[in-house]
Structure 1
Amino acid sequence: MGISMPPVAVKDLPRDDEGDPTAGSPSGRFVTPGFRAGFVLVTAMFFTWALANNLNDILIRQFQKALALSRGEAGFIQFVFYLAYFLWAIPAGMLMRRFGYRAGLLLGLAFYAVGALLFYPAAEIHRYWAFLLALFVLASGAAFLETAANPFIARFGDSSRASQRLTLAQAFNGLGAVVAPTIGGLFIFSGIEHSAQDIAAMSTDQLQAYRASEAAMVQGPYLALAVFVVILAVAIARVRLPVIRESEHEGAGAVAAVLRDRQLVGAVIAQFFYVGAQVCIWSYFVDFVKHLVPATPERTAAYLLSASLLLFMIGRFAGAALMHRIRPTRLLLLFGVTNVLLLALAIMLPGSAAVAALGLTSFFMSIMFPTIFALGIRNLGDGTALGSSLIIMAIIGGAIFPPLMGLLSESMDLQTALALPLLCFAIVAMFARTARD
């Protein structure tokens, strides 16, 4: 990520567990001594929620096989997942204001672990609603983690180096995004692919056995994920973390005041459309590869998605470097317009060329979320926490657009349905054109 974070107010600087100010002094410390272990563990949260987010892209394809879902029905995986973000963004912020960031992280990890564990019984009963329930619980945990970790990570040291800490943490988010499709390709995709003719020729018992075995493929990876998250929770409960002091006087008047900031409102709208575009592209990437190049095995398509997400991670480092020379708004505009053009090519070109154009969009998505976020909360002062929650709520775009794109792809064509994320990136570019650095 490459963003310029707003100055951190003195009252918000990190404090140690006894409440004495220790970080944010003019020492230029990247991480205040005594908090390095905590910084590492909170950074691990960025990796953790990226795993959950990007495993969904594999589940959409897998559940079409295991549960006999249409593409539109499978798109509701993302609807349920990002609905949890929308519903929990403000309650998570309120809880952390009352009980602290550690409590928010621990509750998030608890939800996450329970949701991952629920995949096991969901596969046993082989019901879509059970998987959606598990995903909602898991996503509730991810919402707490993301709401807590984004502002928390910036306050582990000197405020002048906040953007560097966020860049490093977001790189681990990118790493999780790269790793997730590879895990899915290795451990969730079975490698067994039947044509529609093969499935039609199966007896009822054979078809039921095949679908049950495909559903069971998710059990092992999600059990392992639950164990990993429990270990993280134990470590977070024991490590030393800063205590962040925040104002407790944000009511309806504060909400109205924050919403009068036109740039914040624009950022909320832009984030809504950006997340919608991102989730659409990654959710249907494997399907897109199979649609344009049918001979490609599912596992290979998953690895191609990992390669695209590697470009996303590289783009964050490249964006951080470029923003030393190019204003964030200009770079956001350039990347937004580039993705509009790439999606136009993905719609018009045949086969592998279209897949390549779609894969390249991840590089240019890389700076969008953090840059829109930083521009939106710029100069909000005491309203920063509330503004942050409103922008996190805009993640609901990831719930609305994928099912809509799935339905469009069924009524027309998956390639033509890319017009939907194309429109979304055009709106991001419009925000960049009018925003102030």
Structure 2
Amino acid sequence: MAGSPMMSDSTILDASNGDNHRFALVSLTSLFFMWGFITCLNDILIPHLKAVFSLSYTEAMLIQFCFFGAYFLVSIPAGKLVKKLGYQKGIVTGLLIGSAGCALFYPAADQAIYGLFLAALFVLASGITVLQVAANPYVNALGRAETASSRLNLTQAFNALGTTVAPYFGAVLILSVAVGAGSELSHAQAEAEQVKLPYLILSALLAMLAVIFYQLKLPVITEHSSGSNSNSNVVEHLGKTNALQHRHLALGTVAIFLYVGAEVSIGSFLVNFLGESHIAGLAEAEAAKYITYYWGGAMVGRFIGSAVMQKIAAGKVLGVNALVAGCLVILAMVTSGKLAMLAILAVGLFNSIMFPTIFSLAIQKLGPHTSQGSGWLCLAIVGGAIVPLLQGAMADSFGIQLAFILPVLCYSYIVFYGVKGSQPVV
């Protein structure tokens, strides 16, 4: 049954209630899969709509700007909504909004207007934002605090499974089919039509999940309420009235901004990067399938990371992964051919644990500020809007390869956060 996170201590579930928690975690994996799948489809939409509407790189990156810009506008209201409704009803609300956003792709394709696609993406992303604000802290609370990073990495592995499957799905149903578009419509409208079926299917799936989650009997979690007043909690939050007064959360918000920006930028440019004659010279439909390896690495890495962080401190693992990811991007910048191609695809493996690990480290020991902290972290996902847009402008000016210096700078900050900035200061 859904419940508000602001209830009395008598309703708090014991963390040892393994059966309830395991059932909830299994149920939540479907959500992580779906929003990973939907988010990664943007990497297919970008080259497709870029060709359909003859866009520059900067204009094409407006897809990510509108999608991830929703996080900036919706995250704080979503945090308040989830605090009022509880995690389960917040999840249902997010699914319904996401379903409506997917359905809006139908009229956008009918009219073949780029602005309508951007509006549909904004609505879809608003729903995903509500899901993120509700589901991430919910997973974090379903067990011991010491293993929160490991637990969130495990569920995020299913998010990565969605991102692994999506590029092949998009390549087959959007990019490949577009080549044979009918002659009775204008070229732009005929190719725009190819997004109708994929997004109508997604709309139906999200609506079905909303009905299922409305019916499920999930645990009520209230550890994040102001009623949780252990002595350590009282001491730690004395004098703090806002989540951002916690230094590790404030620095973590910057880390999420830069990480999402770097991850989205790399994924957004992969099809065009692999199409460069001195890299691989692949056609769009073929290059899109290689994105599966990028996101597949993220999936494998999250399963590995979930196990590793049972033994090694999450901050250290984060710092090492960010360092390796940055070095791989530099390698892709200064080389060509198969080496550059393999280097950029391998970044996905080391990206794997970053988002869930930063998220868990940033909301640790926030107590009654956890919901608000989750809202700030989801707001920071707007990095996926800003960084790709900047990289698009750099690509238009200096070329795709040199523009990858931007993700390198992002990973440099994440190394700092993992090693030092993630440590809570009382």
- What's the counterpart of residue 289 of structure 1? 274
- What's the counterpart of residue 73 of structure 1? 59
**Maintained 8 Å contact 2:82/2:133:** no
Q: Which runs of 5+ in 1 are unaligned?
A: 1-10, 195-204
Question: How does 1:194-273 map onto structure 2 within 5 Å?
Answer: 209-245=186-222, 247=225, 256-273=241-258
Shift in alpha-carbon separation, 1:167–1:328, aligned structure 2, 3 A? closer
Question: How does 1:26-105 map onto structure 2 within 5 Å?
Answer: 26=16, 29=18, 31-32=19-20, 36=23, 38-105=24-91
Determine the C-alpha separation between the residues in 2 that align with 1:255 and 1:218. Answer: 48
Classify the secondary structure of the residue corresponding to 1:244.
coil
Deviations 1:291-348 (A, max 9, x none): 2446412222111110111111111112122224432222211111111211111111
Classify the secondary structure of the residue corresponding to 1:189.
helix
Classify the secondary structure of the residue corresponding to 1:430.
helix
**CA deviation after TM superposition for structure 1 residue 158, in Å:** 6.7
Determine the C-alpha separation between the residues in 2 that align with 1:86 and 1:254. Answer: 27
Determine the C-alpha separation between the residues in 2 that align with 1:103 and 1:255. Answer: 29
Classify the secondary structure of the residue corresponding to 2:55.
coil
Determine the C-alpha separation between the residues in 1 that align with 2:178 and 2:110. Answer: 20
**Maintained 8 Å contact 1:65/1:214:** no
In structure 1, what residue type is equivalent to 2:20? T
Tell me how large the CA RMSD over aligned residues is.
2.8
Shift in alpha-carbon separation, 1:368–1:161, aligned structure 2, 3 A? closer
**Maintained 8 Å contact 1:254/1:383:** no
Match of 1:124 among 106, 110, 114: 110
Determine the C-alpha separation between the residues in 1 that align with 2:371 and 2:170. Answer: 35
Deviations 1:364-414 (A, max 9, x none): 111111111122122222222222211111111111011111111011110
Determine the C-alpha separation between the residues in 2 that align with 1:424 and 1:289. Answer: 22
Shift in alpha-carbon separation, 1:104–1:325, aligned structure 2, 3 A? closer
Shift in alpha-carbon separation, 1:157–1:13, aligned structure 2, 3 A? farther
Determine the C-alpha separation between the residues in 1 that align with 2:422 and 2:93. Answer: 36
**Maintained 8 Å contact 1:274/1:428:** yes
Deviations 1:35-68 (A, max 9, x none): 82x5433321111111111000100010011122
- What's the counterpart of residue 130 of structure 2? 144
- What's the counterpart of residue 200 of structure 1? none
In structure 2, what residue type is equivalent to 1:242? P
- What's the counterpart of residue 370 of structure 1? 356
Classify the secondary structure of the residue corresponding to 2:400.
coil
**CA deviation after TM superposition for structure 1 residue 271, in Å:** 1.2
Shift in alpha-carbon separation, 1:125–1:348, aligned structure 2, 3 A? same
Question: How does 1:154-173 map onto structure 2 within 5 Å?
Answer: 154-156=140-142, 165-173=151-159
Deviations 1:129-164 (A, max 9, x none): 100010000000000111111122344567776555
Determine the C-alpha separation between the residues in 1 that align with 2:56 and 2:63. Answer: 12
**CA deviation after TM superposition for structure 1 residue 23, in Å:** 3.7
**Maintained 8 Å contact 1:84/1:140:** yes
> Is residue 289 of structure 2 the alignment partner of residue 303 of structure 1?
yes
**CA deviation after TM superposition for structure 1 residue 233, in Å:** 1.1
In structure 2, what residue type is equivalent to 1:321? A
Match of 2:370 among 362, 376, 384: 384
**CA deviation after TM superposition for structure 1 residue 259, in Å:** 2.4
**Maintained 8 Å contact 2:5/2:87:** no
Determine the C-alpha separation between the residues in 2 that align with 1:384 and 1:24. Answer: 18
Match of 1:106 among 92, 99, 103: 92
**Maintained 8 Å contact 2:271/2:288:** yes
Deviations 1:12-34 (A, max 9, x none): 7999xxx975842545x1x328x
**CA deviation after TM superposition for structure 1 residue 206, in Å:** 7.3
Shift in alpha-carbon separation, 1:309–1:263, aligned structure 2, 3 A? same
Question: How does 1:172-187 map onto structure 2 within 5 Å?
Answer: 172-187=158-173
**CA deviation after TM superposition for structure 1 residue 258, in Å:** 2.8
**Maintained 8 Å contact 2:226/2:368:** no
In structure 2, what residue type is equivalent to 1:216? E
Deviations 1:105-124 (A, max 9, x none): 12111111111011011011
Determine the C-alpha separation between the residues in 1 that align with 2:7 and 2:340. Answer: 48
**Maintained 8 Å contact 2:149/2:314:** no
Classify the secondary structure of the residue corresponding to 2:176.
coil
**CA deviation after TM superposition for structure 1 residue 237, in Å:** 1.6
**Maintained 8 Å contact 1:14/1:157:** no
Q: Which runs of 5+ in 2 are unaligned?
A: 228-237
Give the stretch that moved more between structures: 240-249 or 306-315.
Answer: 240-249
In structure 1, what residue type is equivalent to 2:175? F
Tell me how many residue pairs correspond in the alignment. 407
> TM-score scaled to structure 1, two decimals?
0.86
Classify the secondary structure of the residue corresponding to 1:326.
coil
Shift in alpha-carbon separation, 1:60–1:14, aligned structure 2, 3 A? farther
Classify the secondary structure of the residue corresponding to 1:379.
coil
The percent identity for this pair of structures is 38
Determine the C-alpha separation between the residues in 1 that align with 2:352 and 2:10. Answer: 37
Shift in alpha-carbon separation, 1:412–1:394, aligned structure 2, 3 A? same
